[in-house]
A and B are shown apart, each in its own frame.
Chain A
């Protein structure tokens, strides 16, 4: 297959209006709204597929270029989304060259990476783009040959008339097709007719990655470009008071040093405007090394910040407390809150009565620390501010969400802002927060030069937008026959609650209560691969394991029993999950792992399953513990994410999710002492490494005809509890506090 083009040709493409030699650039536009997908679930993003343009370019030599609209951070949408177009266009995948589309609302209506929504929301719209183009080519061929469309067929980028034996490439008709109106009735293939969707295809960018090509924002460079870094308070809860940069400015290669204010004081904060510190000191110089050295010479005075109010876009005021916070205090605060009544999120039946009458109650409390994203490519952005225009080359997950804030801060219209989207060296939620683009633009403006802002690893770890620290307390009530009669979840965190009150086991238990609490904090938090779910699954699925043991039931059989109840006779009106699909992954993982088979009796195994982002995942892990060393022999994953577009990429995602989850469950933690993060780089922040990865990972997909649901996030949350449950089998000890590995004795 042909590979993607470099950044440079990407930019030049937008200036090309027609191809030499007569080609076709499909500017497909229609104002009839493409059929919207069903409720978008967790993120509530309104699909905006009213018009679709510029996804396909066909040259007269029949080479085909497909633009991938969504920002790429390793989820491999640069392969899977163009596959959707190519399927309906009916071209040979080997003909296709893929390019990253730049930020352009008119050309690409939904450029969004987050919430495991990419393939799900593109499923019909992008296939429609391909199908419309195919119909236009058929019409052009019919006119050229003076034959009815009904007698023509397509395959592999060729139009064929079987009766006469005529066959010509799409390229032959591309110029004529481009002049045709967009067809009104566009027919999509039935799933049974797919030739490409469902076949394993390799990452289209893989050859460039393997050669270390400059694909990332960190690699962007152009003539006259300066490097910038920012110096910020050493601890959360502090702010800049004053600084002296006299010595630093004299350092070699330094161009300028000045303070910047990320947002104005009256800024209305949108949901993804989070930034750790509002006032930072920018250091601009000729090379990264020069700038790193000069930073050390800045004499800055920091002071404890006062309590402040931040106004949200809906005039909702948030109070950011003053103080230097510590992890030990956070845990003490959460424990204290768990003993007080919380905000009732859901109540079924009469849980108070059931608990009062119970013969036995099991209560357990689970906690998890903050987690840093640790994107391998540290935060960065190129910006060039000239006149009243700014040009970005930015690794950003959701450009639409930061755009209004860039407009507000810079005071220039949206039309004056361009963003070239580059491959991201990881995201996991971190690059949904685009404050660094504003920082880069302000620095470029002040320095009057093109600037690449980069964060050091220490900046990235110590001034992050973390996965919150959470706590969940569960109580289960049993009658004299050890029957589960009531369930109570109380969840909270710093500074948000992890609770999903309408998820399993809600719907499966007559008497159910869910309560939440929050502890305000000045530590900045945000989305992290499967937000909230990544902790809920860990806690809930560990607790279900423990109560199934008390009840003398097999952990999978017990879950299936609860789900059967939720399926046959659900409690309550709003249950977020589909019990049948949930059962499906549990049954698949049971069968594929040989759960309960005599040959596996000696294995230290744990199971876990979870629903999030519209998909269902179940995992079985086999591990061994020697001293404080954990060896993971095997992970078996069962996943129901509907139709799988690219099984190769999907397997890679699910394998990675398991490894990432095992690493965070065993080792991951960001702790704070007096507002300062105790971990600042990979020498202190413990990441999973090669020798700790599972020896084997099997991934199995439930085969069905359901339109694709989420994939990037769903296989991440359950593995945490599978690890905890297997550790119990290996050590005889239950694990309630993440990370688990430090609790093992060497």
Chain B
């Protein structure tokens, strides 16, 4: 059923009309034109669509719009104003990306990890990041970038 919703995304309020079951992923991409959040699987198995919900990393493909009232949503577009979040800077510095498609999801997961665990062990990183798939195989660089961001933030 189509309903009106008020969503708080990247500290701005957006009024959206959408099917109550429409996942946040498609609200962001198709309605609001915020395409940094990527579609990878639609079943919460790859992490390409990771956003922050009240500061925690969540899969936006699994979040119906009707469940988001009063929540603070942060997408990659809102992580920093100029791409200068410590995790983003580390990603560039470590030259992590190959194709780059999964990386906004990886970065959002990494930023959430560091917020709650500022000095993660290797095991912390591996466990937390396990939900984010990269077919190009940039995992070792992702780990290095997270470690670098941890020491610099």
- Interface assignment of B5: CB less than 8 Å from any CB of chain A: no
- Interface assignment of A648: CB less than 8 Å from any CB of chain B: yes
- Interface assignment of B121: CB less than 8 Å from any CB of chain A: no
Decide: A377 near B30, CB < 8 A? Known: A206-B91, A681-B45. Answer: no
Q: Are A691 and B127 within 8 A (Cβ)?
A: yes
Q: Are A663 and B36 within 8 A (Cβ)?
A: no
Q: Are A210 and B45 within 8 A (Cβ)?
A: no
- How far apart are the CA atoms of A552 and B127 in the complex, in Å? 42
**What's the minimum C-beta distance from B80 to chain A, rounded to whole angstroms?**
8
Q: Which of A209, A378, A681, A695 contacts B122 (CB 8 A)?
A: A695
Contacting B at CB under 8 A, from A455-494, are: 456-457
Decide: A287 near B30, CB < 8 A? Known: A682-B133, A691-B126, A694-B140. Answer: yes
Q: Which of B19, B26, B43, B100 contacts A683 (CB 8 A)?
A: B43
- Interface assignment of A420: CB less than 8 Å from any CB of chain B: no
Residue of A nearest to B30 (CB): A287
- How far apart are the CA atoms of A691 and B134 in the complex, in Å? 12
Residue of B nearest to A460 (CB): B41
- Interface assignment of A653: CB less than 8 Å from any CB of chain B: yes
Residue of B nearest to A693 (CB): B139
- How far apart are the CA atoms of A454 and B137 in the complex, in Å? 24
Q: Encode contact with B along A282-305: 1 for CB under 8 Å, 0 otherwise.
A: 000001111001000000000000
Q: Encode contact with B along A201-232: 1 for CB under 8 Å, 0 otherwise.
A: 01101110111111110110100000100000
Q: Are A376 and B40 within 8 A (Cβ)?
A: yes
**What's the minimum C-beta distance from B152 to chain A, rounded to whole angstroms?**
15
Q: Encode contact with B along A190-203: 1 for CB under 8 Å, 0 otherwise.
A: 00000000000011
- Interface assignment of B56: CB less than 8 Å from any CB of chain A: no
Q: Which residues of B contact A424 (CB under 8 A)?
A: 99
- Interface assignment of A717: CB less than 8 Å from any CB of chain B: no
- Interface assignment of A687: CB less than 8 Å from any CB of chain B: yes
Q: Which of A205, A211, A426 contacts B136 (CB 8 A)?
A: A426
Q: Encode contact with A along B60-102: 1 for CB under 8 Å, 0 otherwise.
A: 0000000000000001110000010000110111011111111
Q: How many A-B residue pairs have CB under 8 A?
A: 193
Q: Are A456 and B36 within 8 A (Cβ)?
A: no
Residue of A nearest to B102 (CB): A376
- How far apart are the CA atoms of A690 and B137 in the complex, in Å? 9
**What's the minimum C-beta distance from A207 to chain B, rounded to whole angstroms?**
5
- How far apart are the CA atoms of A203 and B136 in the complex, in Å? 15
Q: Which of B89, B103, B137 contacts A209 (CB 8 A)?
A: B103
Residue from the set A293, A426, A648 with the largest chain B CB neighbour count within 10 Å: A426
**What's the minimum C-beta distance from B79 to chain A, rounded to whole angstroms?**
8
Decide: A690 near B129, CB < 8 A? Known: A213-B36, A289-B30, A660-B135. Answer: yes
Q: Which of A221, A252, A289, A693 contacts B137 (CB 8 A)?
A: A693
Q: Are B98 and A76 within 8 A (Cβ)?
A: yes
- Interface assignment of B58: CB less than 8 Å from any CB of chain A: no
Q: Which residues of B contact A103 (CB under 8 A)?
A: none
Q: Which of A227, A658, A682 contacts B41 (CB 8 A)?
A: A682
- Interface assignment of A702: CB less than 8 Å from any CB of chain B: no
Q: Which residues of A contact B136 (CB under 8 A)?
A: 74, 376, 426, 656, 660
Contacting B at CB under 8 A, from A409-432, are: 423-428
Q: Which residues of A contact B153 (CB under 8 A)?
A: none
- Interface assignment of B42: CB less than 8 Å from any CB of chain A: yes
Contacting A at CB under 8 A, from B29-57, are: 29-31, 33, 35-43, 45-46, 48
- Interface assignment of B13: CB less than 8 Å from any CB of chain A: no
- How far apart are the CA atoms of A454 and B38 in the complex, in Å? 13
Q: Which residues of B contact A663 (CB under 8 A)?
A: 137
Q: Are A219 and B35 within 8 A (Cβ)?
A: yes
Residue from the set A221, A658, A690 with the largest chain B CB neighbour count within 10 Å: A690
- How far apart are the CA atoms of A288 and B135 in the complex, in Å? 24
Decide: A377 near B101, CB < 8 A? Known: A211-B36, A660-B135. Answer: yes
Q: Are B143 and A690 within 8 A (Cβ)?
A: yes
- How far apart are the CA atoms of A681 and B122 in the complex, in Å? 28
Q: Are B42 and A456 within 8 A (Cβ)?
A: yes
Q: Which residues of B contact A377 (CB under 8 A)?
A: 38, 40, 99, 101
Number of A residues near B (Cβ < 8 Å) is 65
- Interface assignment of A392: CB less than 8 Å from any CB of chain B: no
Decide: A214 near B35, CB < 8 A? Known: A207-B92, A426-B136. Answer: yes
Q: Which of A219, A655, A658, A688 contacts B141 (CB 8 A)?
A: A655
Residue of A nearest to B142 (CB): A690
- How far apart are the CA atoms of A76 and B100 in the complex, in Å? 10
Q: Which residues of B contact A210 (CB under 8 A)?
A: 83, 88-89, 91-92, 97, 103-104, 107
- How far apart are the CA atoms of A75 and B138 in the complex, in Å? 12
Q: Which residues of B contact A76 (CB under 8 A)?
A: 98
- Interface assignment of B7: CB less than 8 Å from any CB of chain A: no
Q: Which of B92, B133, B140 contacts A687 (CB 8 A)?
A: B133
Q: Are A423 and B19 within 8 A (Cβ)?
A: no
**What's the minimum C-beta distance from B147 to chain A, rounded to whole angstroms?**
12
- How far apart are the CA atoms of A693 and B19 in the complex, in Å? 40
Q: Are B91 and A376 within 8 A (Cβ)?
A: no
Q: Which residues of B contact A316 (CB under 8 A)?
A: none
Q: Are B133 and A689 within 8 A (Cβ)?
A: yes
Residue of A nearest to B75 (CB): A212
Contacting A at CB under 8 A, from B5-35, are: 18-19, 22-23, 26, 29-31, 33, 35
- How far apart are the CA atoms of A375 and B133 in the complex, in Å? 11
Q: Are A696 and B30 within 8 A (Cβ)?
A: no
**What's the minimum C-beta distance from A715 to chain B, rounded to whole angstroms?**
10
Q: Are A74 and B95 within 8 A (Cβ)?
A: no
Q: Which of B30, B126, B137 contacts A657 (CB 8 A)?
A: B137
Q: Are A652 and B141 within 8 A (Cβ)?
A: yes
Q: Are A425 and B99 within 8 A (Cβ)?
A: yes
- Interface assignment of A453: CB less than 8 Å from any CB of chain B: no
Q: Which residues of A contact B127 (CB under 8 A)?
A: 691
Residue of A nearest to B48 (CB): A376
Contacting A at CB under 8 A, from B112-150, are: 122, 125-127, 129-143
Q: Are B126 and A656 within 8 A (Cβ)?
A: no
Q: Are A682 and B43 within 8 A (Cβ)?
A: yes
**What's the minimum C-beta distance from A703 to chain B, rounded to whole angstroms?**
21
Residue of A nearest to B98 (CB): A74
Contacting B at CB under 8 A, from A382-441, are: 423-428
**What's the minimum C-beta distance from B6 to chain A, rounded to whole angstroms?**
19
Decide: A682 near B141, CB < 8 A? Known: A227-B30, A289-B22, A423-B99. Answer: no
Q: Are A652 and B138 within 8 A (Cβ)?
A: yes
Q: Which residues of B contact A209 (CB under 8 A)?
A: 91, 97, 100, 103-104
Q: Are B137 and A202 within 8 A (Cβ)?
A: no
Residue of A nearest to B109 (CB): A690
Decide: A655 near B137, CB < 8 A? Known: A202-B92, A227-B30, A683-B45. Answer: yes
Residue of B nearest to A687 (CB): B133
- How far apart are the CA atoms of A206 and B100 in the complex, in Å? 8
- Interface assignment of A697: CB less than 8 Å from any CB of chain B: yes
- Interface assignment of A73: CB less than 8 Å from any CB of chain B: yes
Q: Which residues of A contact B134 (CB under 8 A)?
A: 376
Residue of A nearest to B77 (CB): A212
Q: Which residues of A contact B141 (CB under 8 A)?
A: 652, 655
Decide: A659 near B137, CB < 8 A? Known: A227-B30, A376-B48, A376-B99. Answer: yes
Q: Which residues of A contact B18 (CB under 8 A)?
A: 289
- How far apart are the CA atoms of A690 and B99 in the complex, in Å? 17
Q: Are A656 and B137 within 8 A (Cβ)?
A: yes
Q: Are B99 and A426 within 8 A (Cβ)?
A: yes
Mind listing 14 A-B residue pairs with CB under 8 Å?
A202-B92, A206-B100, A252-B19, A287-B30, A287-B31, A289-B30, A374-B135, A376-B40, A457-B40, A655-B141, A656-B137, A659-B139, A688-B139, A690-B132
Which 9 pairs from chain A and chain B are nearest by CB? A212-B36, A425-B101, A659-B137, A74-B99, A212-B76, A656-B137, A74-B98, A212-B104, A693-B139
Known: A203-B97, A206-B92, A206-B97. 11 other contacts (CB 8 A): A210-B88, A218-B39, A287-B26, A288-B39, A426-B136, A457-B40, A655-B140, A687-B133, A690-B126, A693-B143, A696-B140
